[in-house]
Structure 1
Amino acid sequence: MTQFITKSMFDAIGELFSDEASIAVSNTEEYIYYRPSKRIDLRIKKGDPVKEGTITYKALTGKQKISEFIDRDLFGVPYYGMAVPLIQEGKIKGCVSAIFPTLATGKSVVTVKHDDGWVPVPFSEVMYLEASDRKTHVVTQKLTGTHKYTLNEFDFLLPKEYFVRCHRSYIVNVNFIREIFPDLHSTLVLIMKNEAKITVSQTYASYFRKLLDF
C-alpha cells in the first residue's frame, strides 16, 4: 500500500471519530500518524517516540489489544485508550490507538444540566442514562438532567462494577434494577426502581447475562 493511500485511509478513519476520539498510529518505536479530535488532543507529533506507559506502548509490548485509563503523568491529561497491535507475518509492525477523553482523575460525580443550573450527582446515585433527542439524559431518583458527553463516552467513564450497557440507547446501574423479565422481541426487559421499563437488546443480551451471572 502506498504512503498516500495509507495516509488517506487513516484520515478517513480519523474523520469518522473526529468528534470523540483522537487516532494515533505508530511503528514499533515512534508515531507515524496522529489526528486529534475535538474533545481531546495529546499533541502527539509524527516522529515522537512511543513513551513507556502509554496505551500504544502497552499494546506493543503486550502483543494484544489493550483498553484502559491512562493518568495525566504522560501527556498532561488523563485519557481512556484502546490500542490494537498491527501484525504482519506473525510479527508486530506497529499499533493503532483510539484516544477518548475522560473525567479528571479521582472524580466520582457527573455534573448534569438541570433547570437553569447544574447539579453534581455522585455516580452511585445515577439510576440509568438514556440517549434521546440528541442528548444524554442522566436519571436519578431525585432528578433528571442532561450532559454533553455521548453514551459511548459514558460507557468508558462510568465505574464498571455497577454500570452496564444494555442497549444502544441505555446504560443502567445494576443496583437500581428491581426485576428482570424475558421478552419475546427484546430478549429481556428491566424494571427499574422508579418503575421505568428498559429494554435489553439482543446485541447486549448475552453480555448482560454474563455480567449479572444468570
Structure 2
Amino acid sequence: MNDLNLCGDELNQLSIILQDWVPKEASIIIATGEDYIFTLLSKQHSNLKIQNMIKEESVAAKVLKTKIKSEFVDNSIFGEPYLTIGYPISIDRKDAALIIVLPSSPIEKREPYQFLTGKNDEDWTPVPIDQIFYIESLQKRTWFYTNSEQYKSNITLKELQTRLPNCFIRIHRSYILNIYFIKKITKDIASNFVIVLKNNVELPVSQSYISELKKILEF
C-alpha cells in the first residue's frame, strides 16, 4: 500500500471530514476499486495486519457501491471486529472511500452460540448449532437450514459471524456454512467454485472468499 499525493481539492475534502470526526487514535484508510491503497494506522492498530483486497461485506465495498456514508462493525479489514465509518470521496476523479477505524479495542467476543432459535410457520424452535447445515441472507431476512427444515432468524449474518463457532465459514455475501456438512467442493461450467453439502444443496463461493476458504480447508 502506497502513500498518495493528493491534490488541493482532495486534501480539503479530506481535511473537513478528518477535523470533524477522527480521534487521534483512529486509523485512516483509503480504498478504490478492489483494494485498500493507503493506510495510516494508529498506535492502537499498528500491530494488526490489514487485508489487501476489499471484501463484499465491508464498509468500503458498501460506500463504493452506494456512494453514501456507511457505518457498522466491520471485521473484514483487520480480521477483528471494529466500529468503522466510511465516506465517499474522489481521488484523481475516481470514486474512493475514506475509511475511519475507530480507536476502541476489538469488540469483546462473546461465547459462541450453542443453538439458534428460529421460526417455522408460527412456532419458534431452539436448534442446536451442530445441526445447522448453512445460513442464508435472502430478501433482507436470515434463514438457517437443517437437513430437513428451514427456520427464520432475527439475527443478521454480520452479527452471526461474530458469534458462530469456527466450523462456520462465510463463502458468499449471502451464505455461511458448517464445514462438517460439506460433501465436496467442485467447479461449475464457468470454473467457479461450488460447495455441495451432504443433503446435496449446492452453494456458490464468491471470488472474494475463495482464498480464505482455501486457507481454512487447506486445499
Give the TM-score taking structure 2 as reference length: 0.55
8 Å contact kept, 1:127–1:140: yes
8 Å contact kept, 1:127–1:176: yes
Q: Across the two proteins, how many residue pairs are aligned to each other?
A: 147
State how far apart, in whole Å, the 1-side matches of 2:104 and 2:156 are: 20
Identify which of 134, 145, 150 aligns with 1:144: 150
Shift in CA distance, 148/202, structure 1 to aligned 2, threshold 3 Å = same
Provide the residue aligned with 1:194 in structure 2: 199
**Between the two proteins, what is the percent identity of the paired residues?**
29
Instruction: Give the deviation of 1:186 after TM superposition.
Output: 5.9
Helix, strand or coil: the match of 1:209? helix
Alignment of 1:59-208 (within 5 A): 63-65=46-48, 81-82=81-82, 95-97=102-104, 105=111, 107-160=113-166, 162-185=167-190, 187-208=192-213
Shift in CA distance, 106/154, structure 1 to aligned 2, threshold 3 Å = closer
State how far apart, in whole Å, the 2-side matches of 1:62 and 1:100 are: 13
State how far apart, in whole Å, the 2-side matches of 1:81 and 1:119 are: 29
8 Å contact kept, 2:113–2:165: no
State how far apart, in whole Å, the 2-side matches of 1:81 and 1:114 are: 31
Instruction: Give the deviation of 1:105 after TM superposition.
Output: 4.0
State how far apart, in whole Å, the 2-side matches of 1:150 and 1:83 are: 16
State how far apart, in whole Å, the 2-side matches of 1:107 and 1:156 are: 10
Helix, strand or coil: the match of 2:134? strand
Instruction: Give the deviation of 1:191 after TM superposition.
Output: 1.0
Helix, strand or coil: the match of 1:181? strand
State how far apart, in whole Å, the 2-side matches of 1:114 and 1:194 are: 19
Instruction: Give the deviation of 1:168 after TM superposition.
Output: 0.9
Instruction: Give the deviation of 1:4 after TM superposition.
Output: 6.6
Provide the residue aligned with 1:76 in structure 2: none
State how far apart, in whole Å, the 2-side matches of 1:150 and 1:101 are: 18
Give the structure with the higher percent strand. Answer: 1
Consecutive unaligned residues in structure 1, runs of 5 or more: 11-24, 32-58, 67-79, 85-93
Instruction: Give the deviation of 1:81 after TM superposition.
Output: 3.8
AA in 1 matched with 2:47: Q
AA in 2 matched with 1:133: Q
Shift in CA distance, 7/212, structure 1 to aligned 2, threshold 3 Å = same
State how far apart, in whole Å, the 2-side matches of 1:99 and 1:210 are: 23
Shift in CA distance, 145/124, structure 1 to aligned 2, threshold 3 Å = same
Give the TM-score taking structure 1 as reference length: 0.56
1:18-67 superposed Cα distances (whole Å, 9 cap, x missing partner): xxxxxxx7545xx9xxxxxxxxxxxxxxxxxxxxxxxxxxx85573339x
